Chain A
Amino acid sequence: MEIKSSENASFQRVYKEVFPVLMRVAYHVTYNLDVSEDIVQESFIRFYEKNIDFVSVDEAKYWLIRVTKNLAINVVKRKSREKAMVDKIKKVPKTPVQNGEDALMNTETREMVRSAVEKLPEKLKSVLILKEYADLNYKQIGVILHISESNVKVRVHRARKMMETMLDRGEMHVS
Protein backbone atom coordinates (compact mmCIF):
# COMPACT_ATOMS: atom_id res chain seq x y z
CA MET A 1 0.00 0.00 0.00
CA GLU A 2 1.72 3.12 -1.18
CA ILE A 3 1.52 6.23 0.95
CA LYS A 4 1.55 9.78 -0.37
CA SER A 5 1.98 12.05 2.59
CA SER A 6 0.05 14.99 1.11
CA GLU A 7 -2.89 12.89 0.02
CA ASN A 8 -5.83 13.14 2.42
CA ALA A 9 -6.68 9.44 2.58
CA SER A 10 -3.05 8.41 3.08
CA PHE A 11 -2.52 11.10 5.68
CA GLN A 12 -5.59 10.09 7.69
CA ARG A 13 -4.57 6.46 7.61
CA VAL A 14 -1.03 7.12 8.79
CA TYR A 15 -2.23 9.63 11.37
CA LYS A 16 -4.65 7.17 12.93
CA GLU A 17 -2.09 4.42 13.09
CA VAL A 18 1.03 6.32 14.08
CA PHE A 19 -0.21 9.11 16.35
CA PRO A 20 -0.18 7.15 19.66
CA VAL A 21 3.37 5.94 19.08
CA LEU A 22 4.62 9.45 18.22
CA MET A 23 2.90 10.89 21.25
CA ARG A 24 4.56 8.33 23.53
CA VAL A 25 7.98 8.90 21.97
CA ALA A 26 7.70 12.67 22.33
CA TYR A 27 6.30 12.41 25.85
CA HIS A 28 8.92 10.05 27.23
CA VAL A 29 11.72 12.18 25.83
CA THR A 30 10.37 15.51 27.08
CA TYR A 31 7.99 14.42 29.89
CA ASN A 32 5.76 17.36 29.07
CA LEU A 33 2.36 16.80 27.52
CA ASP A 34 1.98 20.26 25.96
CA VAL A 35 5.45 20.21 24.49
CA SER A 36 4.80 16.69 23.16
CA GLU A 37 1.61 17.80 21.44
CA ASP A 38 3.51 20.62 19.73
CA ILE A 39 6.26 18.25 18.64
CA VAL A 40 3.89 15.64 17.22
CA GLN A 41 1.91 18.34 15.45
CA GLU A 42 5.10 19.70 13.95
CA SER A 43 6.05 16.20 12.79
CA PHE A 44 2.73 15.75 11.00
CA ILE A 45 2.98 19.20 9.43
CA ARG A 46 6.40 18.29 8.05
CA PHE A 47 5.08 14.93 6.93
CA TYR A 48 2.23 16.61 5.07
CA GLU A 49 4.20 19.45 3.58
CA LYS A 50 7.18 17.41 2.39
CA ASN A 51 4.85 15.40 0.15
CA ILE A 52 6.90 12.22 0.31
CA ASP A 53 6.02 8.87 -1.22
CA PHE A 54 6.42 5.88 1.09
CA VAL A 55 6.25 2.27 -0.01
CA SER A 56 4.26 1.31 3.07
CA VAL A 57 2.58 2.64 6.20
CA ASP A 58 5.51 1.24 8.18
CA GLU A 59 8.02 3.27 6.18
CA ALA A 60 5.98 6.40 6.87
CA LYS A 61 5.82 5.40 10.53
CA TYR A 62 9.61 5.03 10.78
CA TRP A 63 10.11 8.41 9.13
CA LEU A 64 7.67 10.07 11.51
CA ILE A 65 9.18 8.41 14.59
CA ARG A 66 12.65 9.56 13.51
CA VAL A 67 11.47 13.14 13.02
CA THR A 68 9.53 13.17 16.29
CA LYS A 69 12.42 11.69 18.27
CA ASN A 70 14.86 14.24 16.86
CA LEU A 71 12.51 17.16 17.48
CA ALA A 72 11.94 15.99 21.05
CA ILE A 73 15.64 15.53 21.75
CA ASN A 74 16.33 18.99 20.34
CA VAL A 75 13.67 20.48 22.58
CA VAL A 76 15.21 18.81 25.63
CA LYS A 77 18.70 20.01 24.64
CA ARG A 78 17.47 23.55 24.10
CA LYS A 79 15.53 23.50 27.35
CA SER A 80 18.44 22.17 29.36
CA ARG A 81 20.45 25.12 28.09
CA GLU A 82 17.80 27.41 29.48
CA LYS A 83 17.84 26.48 33.12
CA ALA A 84 14.66 28.27 33.95
CA MET A 85 12.77 26.42 31.27
CA VAL A 86 13.99 23.09 32.59
CA ASP A 87 12.44 23.84 35.94
CA LYS A 88 9.21 24.72 34.20
CA ILE A 89 9.18 21.45 32.29
CA LYS A 90 9.77 19.50 35.45
CA LYS A 91 7.14 21.26 37.49
CA VAL A 92 4.27 21.44 35.01
CA PRO A 93 3.44 17.87 34.12
CA LYS A 94 3.26 16.16 37.51
CA THR A 95 0.96 13.52 36.09
CA PRO A 96 -2.44 13.88 37.77
CA VAL A 97 -3.35 11.17 40.25
CA GLN A 98 -5.23 8.31 38.70
CA ASN A 99 -8.29 6.63 40.14
CA GLY A 100 -7.81 3.51 42.23
CA GLU A 101 -6.26 2.77 45.59
CA ASP A 102 -2.76 2.22 44.23
CA ALA A 103 -2.75 5.70 42.72
CA LEU A 104 -0.10 6.99 45.07
CA MET A 105 2.25 4.10 44.47
CA ASN A 106 1.65 4.47 40.77
CA THR A 107 2.68 8.12 40.70
CA GLU A 108 5.70 7.31 42.79
CA THR A 109 6.77 4.62 40.35
CA ARG A 110 6.13 6.94 37.45
CA GLU A 111 8.28 9.64 38.98
CA MET A 112 11.06 7.18 39.63
CA VAL A 113 11.01 5.74 36.13
CA ARG A 114 10.82 9.20 34.69
CA SER A 115 13.84 10.56 36.50
CA ALA A 116 15.77 7.42 35.59
CA VAL A 117 14.86 7.70 31.88
CA GLU A 118 15.87 11.37 31.93
CA LYS A 119 19.27 10.46 33.29
CA LEU A 120 20.07 7.96 30.56
CA PRO A 121 22.59 9.05 27.92
CA GLU A 122 20.89 10.00 24.66
CA LYS A 123 21.93 6.88 22.72
CA LEU A 124 20.49 4.50 25.30
CA LYS A 125 17.49 6.70 25.98
CA SER A 126 16.32 6.66 22.36
CA VAL A 127 16.59 2.88 22.14
CA LEU A 128 14.87 2.30 25.46
CA ILE A 129 11.98 4.63 24.64
CA LEU A 130 11.46 3.04 21.24
CA LYS A 131 11.59 -0.42 22.82
CA GLU A 132 9.46 0.09 25.93
CA TYR A 133 7.04 2.81 24.79
CA ALA A 134 6.79 2.56 21.02
CA ASP A 135 6.49 -1.26 20.97
CA LEU A 136 8.98 -1.72 18.18
CA ASN A 137 11.25 -4.69 17.61
CA TYR A 138 15.05 -4.56 17.33
CA LYS A 139 14.96 -4.53 13.55
CA GLN A 140 12.53 -1.62 13.38
CA ILE A 141 14.49 0.36 15.95
CA GLY A 142 17.64 -0.27 13.89
CA VAL A 143 15.94 1.10 10.78
CA ILE A 144 14.73 4.21 12.61
CA LEU A 145 18.04 5.01 14.28
CA HIS A 146 20.18 3.90 11.33
CA ILE A 147 22.06 1.37 13.46
CA SER A 148 22.46 -2.40 13.22
CA GLU A 149 20.11 -4.83 14.88
CA SER A 150 22.85 -6.22 17.11
CA ASN A 151 23.73 -2.69 18.15
CA VAL A 152 20.10 -2.22 19.20
CA LYS A 153 20.28 -5.43 21.21
CA VAL A 154 23.37 -4.23 23.06
CA ARG A 155 21.89 -0.80 23.74
CA VAL A 156 18.61 -2.24 25.06
CA HIS A 157 20.61 -4.40 27.42
CA ARG A 158 22.80 -1.51 28.60
CA ALA A 159 19.84 0.81 29.02
CA ARG A 160 17.96 -1.76 31.11
CA LYS A 161 21.02 -2.34 33.21
CA MET A 162 21.33 1.39 33.95
CA MET A 163 17.63 1.63 34.60
CA GLU A 164 17.80 -1.26 37.03
CA THR A 165 20.61 0.35 38.99
CA MET A 166 18.88 3.72 39.13
CA LEU A 167 15.50 2.23 40.04
CA ASP A 168 17.06 0.13 42.81
CA ARG A 169 18.69 3.21 44.23
CA GLY A 170 15.41 5.06 43.87
CA GLU A 171 13.52 2.41 45.79
CA MET A 172 16.11 2.53 48.54
CA HIS A 173 15.71 6.29 48.78
CA VAL A 174 11.95 6.06 48.87
CA SER A 175 11.68 3.34 51.50
Chain B
Amino acid sequence: MCLDDQILNTYLDGELVEPWKTQVEEHLKYCTACSSRFRQLQAVHEMVCSSRLSDEKIDAAQEKILAFMENKYLHKEKKVKFLHRDFTMKTPTIIGIAAAFVLIFIGAFTIQSPSLNDSNVLIPQVVDTQSGNVTQVSSIDSLTTDQILSNLSLEEILSYLDSKGFEVDLKVKSVNPIGESTD
Protein backbone atom coordinates (compact mmCIF):
# COMPACT_ATOMS: atom_id res chain seq x y z
CA MET B 1 0.00 0.00 0.00
CA CYS B 2 1.42 3.35 -0.99
CA LEU B 3 -0.71 5.76 1.03
CA ASP B 4 -1.20 5.19 4.72
CA ASP B 5 -4.59 5.33 6.43
CA GLN B 6 -3.85 8.54 8.23
CA ILE B 7 -3.23 10.43 5.01
CA LEU B 8 -6.33 8.92 3.48
CA ASN B 9 -8.40 9.86 6.52
CA THR B 10 -7.05 13.41 6.42
CA TYR B 11 -7.87 13.56 2.72
CA LEU B 12 -11.33 12.14 3.44
CA ASP B 13 -11.98 14.90 5.96
CA GLY B 14 -10.93 17.52 3.41
CA GLU B 15 -8.08 18.57 5.65
CA LEU B 16 -5.20 17.68 3.36
CA VAL B 17 -3.48 20.78 2.01
CA GLU B 18 -1.73 21.34 -1.30
CA PRO B 19 0.45 20.01 -2.82
CA TRP B 20 -0.32 16.69 -1.09
CA LYS B 21 -3.99 16.90 -1.88
CA THR B 22 -3.40 16.87 -5.66
CA GLN B 23 -0.77 14.20 -5.25
CA VAL B 24 -3.19 11.96 -3.36
CA GLU B 25 -5.90 12.59 -5.95
CA GLU B 26 -3.52 11.68 -8.75
CA HIS B 27 -2.39 8.56 -6.93
CA LEU B 28 -5.93 7.37 -6.24
CA LYS B 29 -6.70 7.58 -9.96
CA TYR B 30 -4.40 4.75 -10.89
CA CYS B 31 -3.67 2.83 -7.64
CA THR B 32 -6.48 0.34 -7.15
CA ALA B 33 -5.24 -0.84 -3.74
CA CYS B 34 -5.26 2.68 -2.36
CA SER B 35 -8.58 3.63 -3.91
CA SER B 36 -10.29 0.53 -2.55
CA ARG B 37 -8.80 1.22 0.88
CA PHE B 38 -10.06 4.78 0.56
CA ARG B 39 -13.55 3.51 -0.22
CA GLN B 40 -13.43 1.29 2.87
CA LEU B 41 -12.49 4.23 5.07
CA GLN B 42 -15.22 6.27 3.43
CA ALA B 43 -17.72 3.50 4.19
CA VAL B 44 -16.76 3.47 7.87
CA HIS B 45 -17.08 7.24 7.99
CA GLU B 46 -20.48 7.14 6.31
CA MET B 47 -21.73 4.36 8.52
CA VAL B 48 -20.76 6.24 11.66
CA CYS B 49 -22.27 9.48 10.32
CA SER B 50 -25.50 7.82 9.25
CA SER B 51 -26.33 6.85 12.80
CA ARG B 52 -26.40 10.44 13.95
CA LEU B 53 -29.30 11.82 15.97
CA SER B 54 -32.10 12.83 13.60
CA ASP B 55 -33.04 16.45 12.97
CA GLU B 56 -36.66 15.91 14.05
CA LYS B 57 -35.59 14.85 17.51
CA ILE B 58 -33.26 17.79 17.76
CA ASP B 59 -35.96 20.25 16.64
CA ALA B 60 -38.40 18.98 19.25
CA ALA B 61 -35.83 19.27 22.04
CA GLN B 62 -34.70 22.65 20.75
CA GLU B 63 -38.17 24.15 21.08
CA LYS B 64 -38.80 22.54 24.44
CA ILE B 65 -35.60 23.80 26.01
CA LEU B 66 -35.93 27.24 24.45
CA ALA B 67 -39.39 27.57 26.03
CA PHE B 68 -37.89 26.58 29.37
CA MET B 69 -35.02 29.04 29.02
CA GLU B 70 -37.33 31.87 28.01
CA ASN B 71 -39.62 31.28 30.96
CA LYS B 72 -36.97 30.81 33.55
CA TYR B 73 -34.19 33.11 32.39
CA LEU B 74 -34.75 35.38 29.41
CA HIS B 75 -38.13 36.76 30.51
CA LYS B 76 -37.33 36.62 34.18
CA GLU B 77 -34.50 38.99 33.51
CA LYS B 78 -36.96 41.46 32.06
CA LYS B 79 -39.17 41.21 35.13
CA VAL B 80 -36.25 41.99 37.40
CA LYS B 81 -35.55 45.03 35.29
CA PHE B 82 -39.13 46.17 35.64
CA LEU B 83 -38.93 45.77 39.39
CA HIS B 84 -35.82 47.86 39.46
CA ARG B 85 -37.55 50.53 37.48
CA ASP B 86 -40.49 50.34 39.88
CA PHE B 87 -38.26 50.83 42.83
CA THR B 88 -36.44 53.77 41.39
CA MET B 89 -39.80 55.36 40.77
CA LYS B 90 -41.25 54.41 44.08
CA THR B 91 -38.49 55.70 46.32
CA PRO B 92 -38.83 59.36 45.32
CA THR B 93 -42.59 59.03 45.47
CA ILE B 94 -42.40 57.82 49.03
CA ILE B 95 -39.98 60.60 49.92
CA GLY B 96 -42.25 63.07 48.16
CA ILE B 97 -45.26 61.92 50.10
CA ALA B 98 -43.32 62.08 53.38
CA ALA B 99 -42.06 65.54 52.52
CA ALA B 100 -45.59 66.66 51.72
CA PHE B 101 -46.80 65.44 55.10
CA VAL B 102 -44.01 67.22 56.91
CA LEU B 103 -44.78 70.39 55.01
CA ILE B 104 -48.48 70.16 55.82
CA PHE B 105 -47.72 69.73 59.52
CA ILE B 106 -45.23 72.57 59.65
CA GLY B 107 -47.50 74.69 57.52
CA ALA B 108 -50.47 74.03 59.77
CA PHE B 109 -48.54 75.18 62.83
CA THR B 110 -47.02 78.23 61.22
CA ILE B 111 -50.36 79.28 59.80
CA GLN B 112 -52.12 78.71 63.09
CA SER B 113 -49.62 80.30 65.42
CA PRO B 114 -50.30 84.01 64.53
CA SER B 115 -54.00 83.56 65.08
CA LEU B 116 -53.20 82.07 68.48
CA ASN B 117 -51.44 85.29 69.40
CA ASP B 118 -54.31 87.25 67.99
CA SER B 119 -56.75 85.57 70.29
CA ASN B 120 -55.36 87.45 73.22
CA VAL B 121 -56.23 90.60 71.46
CA LEU B 122 -59.41 89.75 69.69
CA ILE B 123 -61.12 87.89 72.46
CA PRO B 124 -61.58 90.15 75.40
CA GLN B 125 -59.43 88.81 78.16
CA VAL B 126 -61.51 87.23 80.78
CA VAL B 127 -60.37 87.10 84.34
CA ASP B 128 -62.12 85.43 87.19
CA THR B 129 -62.49 87.74 90.13
CA GLN B 130 -65.13 85.95 92.07
CA SER B 131 -67.08 82.88 91.21
CA GLY B 132 -70.05 83.86 89.15
CA ASN B 133 -68.64 87.23 88.18
CA VAL B 134 -66.62 88.07 85.09
CA THR B 135 -64.74 91.22 84.48
CA GLN B 136 -63.73 92.44 81.10
CA VAL B 137 -60.24 93.81 81.20
CA SER B 138 -59.43 94.93 77.74
CA SER B 139 -58.70 98.27 76.38
CA ILE B 140 -59.52 99.11 72.82
CA ASP B 141 -57.46 102.23 72.72
CA SER B 142 -54.23 100.65 71.51
CA LEU B 143 -55.87 98.32 68.95
CA THR B 144 -56.34 98.77 65.23
CA THR B 145 -59.84 98.86 63.84
CA ASP B 146 -59.92 95.25 62.59
CA GLN B 147 -58.98 94.00 66.04
CA ILE B 148 -61.90 95.70 67.75
CA LEU B 149 -64.67 93.27 68.34
CA SER B 150 -67.47 95.65 67.51
CA ASN B 151 -65.94 96.33 64.10
CA LEU B 152 -66.10 92.67 63.09
CA SER B 153 -69.12 91.10 61.43
CA LEU B 154 -71.06 88.35 63.10
CA GLU B 155 -69.74 85.79 60.56
CA GLU B 156 -66.13 86.76 61.24
CA ILE B 157 -66.57 86.37 64.96
CA LEU B 158 -68.33 83.01 64.50
CA SER B 159 -65.71 81.57 62.20
CA TYR B 160 -62.98 82.78 64.49
CA LEU B 161 -64.59 81.17 67.55
CA ASP B 162 -65.21 78.05 65.53
CA SER B 163 -61.56 77.81 64.53
CA LYS B 164 -60.59 78.18 68.17
CA GLY B 165 -62.72 75.20 69.07
CA PHE B 166 -65.61 76.97 70.69
CA GLU B 167 -68.99 75.59 70.05
CA VAL B 168 -71.28 78.44 69.33
CA ASP B 169 -75.00 78.02 69.52
CA LEU B 170 -76.66 80.99 67.95
CA LYS B 171 -80.38 81.44 68.17
CA VAL B 172 -82.65 84.11 66.90
CA LYS B 173 -85.11 84.66 69.74
CA SER B 174 -87.43 87.10 68.05
CA VAL B 175 -87.56 88.92 64.81
CA ASN B 176 -89.59 92.02 64.50
CA PRO B 177 -90.42 93.05 60.99
CA ILE B 178 -89.98 96.74 60.52
CA GLY B 179 -93.15 98.66 61.08
CA GLU B 180 -95.11 95.86 62.74
CA SER B 181 -95.95 95.68 66.37
CA THR B 182 -94.58 92.91 68.55
CA ASP B 183 -97.73 91.85 70.23
**Chain A residues close to B by CB (< 8 Å):** 6, 8, 11-12, 15, 19-20, 23-24, 27-28, 33, 36-37, 40-41, 44-45, 48-49, 98, 106, 109-110, 113-114, 117, 128, 131-133, 137-138, 153-154, 156-157, 160-161, 163-164, 167
Contact = CB atoms under 8 A, between A and B. Distances in A.
Interface string B1-31: 0000110011001110000000000000000
Contacts of A109: 47, 50-51
A26 to B, nearest CB: 9
Given A113-B47, A161-B5, A163-B48, A23 B53 contact: yes
Nearest to A48: B73
Contacts of A128: 48
Interface of B: 5-6, 9-10, 13-15, 40-41, 44-45, 47-55, 57-58, 61-62, 64-66, 68-69, 73-74, 77
Nearest to A8: B74
Contacts of A156: 9, 13
Interface of chain B: mostly helix, strand, loop or mixed: helix
A8 B77 CA distance: 9
Nearest to A107: B51
Contacts, number: 99
A23 B62 contact: yes
B57 to A, nearest CB: 6
A44 B15 contact: no
Contact of A160 (B9, B62, B65, B66): B9
A132 B49 CA distance: 6
Interface of chain A: mostly helix, strand, loop or mixed: helix
Contact of A28 (B5, B44, B52, B65): B52
Contacts of B62: 19-20, 23
A47 B130 CA distance: 94
B78 to A, nearest CB: 8
Given A24-B58, A110-B51, 16 more contacts: A15-B69, A33-B53, A37-B61, A48-B73, A48-B74, A98-B54, A131-B13, A132-B49, A137-B14, A138-B13, A157-B10, A160-B41, A160-B44, A163-B44, A163-B48, A167-B47
15 contacts: A11-B74, A19-B66, A33-B57, A37-B65, A40-B61, A109-B50, A113-B51, A132-B49, A133-B53, A137-B13, A153-B9, A160-B45, A161-B5, A163-B48, A164-B41
Most B CB atoms within 10 A — which of A113, A114, A128? A113
A15 B88 CA distance: 33
A138 B10 CA distance: 9
B77 A164 contact: no
A161 B45 CA distance: 10
A132 B45 contact: yes
Given A33-B61, A161-B5, A153 B15 contact: yes
B16 to A, nearest CB: 10
Contacts of B44: 160, 163-164, 167
A24 B74 contact: no
Contact of B58 (A23, A48, A110): A23
B10 A153 contact: yes
A45 B73 contact: yes
A6 B15 CA distance: 35
B176 to A, nearest CB: 89
Nearest to A149: B15
